Chain A
């Protein structure tokens, strides 16, 4: 399991635009670099990120080798109901990780 950092408010007023910031520890090996033996290192990247709010996809992104190591993504979500925000990262070599954050909307 890769380490993740998720910045999301735990409480919000209804209709408020919440700022969400996510970061996941991942080398994002481009597949263009050579290793110490001179051979090209195989590609190992996160290809897809998605954010679901109570099951519905709010934001998703396709990532390419041009994304820095430890991919950081910041976006926003409108608070309309209490529930969970679920963040999913999928990538090469069967990489898949999901993290959840619960939110209370007053």
Chain B
């Protein structure tokens, strides 16, 4: 009877650590990179200018039960003063028939950069909110949503 040789370098402790690593890799998934569809729509809005993650917060339920009316809130961190304010915010989607969702123009007279509305979502997809600041910088927030009942499009 031959004994199955266990590699002497792999101790029980190392094996446990490796298992933990695999577990972490499965449960912790980083935010998906922007799909080509969304990146293209974003380029149309920014005109090719670089975008950064942050400053804008896209508030939407991660699990949507009814895609016909999905409440969203866009909040941008900005003093909304005449010198430093948000010029525009827009939302783009990945899998609706049209990429654009809403595009708003803001002004310092608003006092705070918060906009809410209700949108339609055709299917489970990725959405991106982008804000254009008065200094010309662009900030984004990307979210993934799961839609159980799609908005009727056909």
Residue numbers of A with Cβ under 8 A of B are 17-18, 30, 32-34, 53, 56-69, 71-78, 80
Contact B109 A53 (CB under 8 A): yes
Q: Does any Cβ of A come within 8 Å of B107's Cβ?
A: yes
Contact B154 A68 (CB under 8 A): no
CA gap between A25 and B130 in the complex, in Å: 28
Contact A61 B105 (CB under 8 A): yes
Q: Does any Cβ of A come within 8 Å of B106's Cβ?
A: yes
Could you tell me the distance in whole angstroms from the C-beta of A55 to the nearest C-beta in chain B?
12
CA gap between A34 and B114 in the complex, in Å: 35
Contact A77 B119 (CB under 8 A): no
Residue numbers of B with Cβ under 8 A of A are 68-70, 93, 96-98, 100-107, 109-112, 114-121, 152-154
Could you tell me the distance in whole angstroms from the C-beta of B111 to the nearest C-beta in chain A?
4
* Given A58-B109, A63-B102, A71-B118, 12 further pairs, Cβ under 8 A: A30-B120, A32-B97, A34-B154, A57-B107, A61-B102, A66-B102, A67-B102, A73-B117, A75-B104, A76-B114, A77-B109, A78-B110
Contact A66 B105 (CB under 8 A): no
Query: What are 19 A-B contacts defined by CB distance under 8 Å?
Result: A33-B154, A58-B110, A59-B104, A59-B106, A62-B100, A64-B98, A64-B100, A64-B101, A65-B97, A67-B101, A67-B117, A67-B118, A67-B119, A68-B68, A68-B70, A72-B117, A73-B115, A74-B116, A78-B110
Residue in A30, A33, A57, A75 whose CB lies within 8 Å of B115: A75
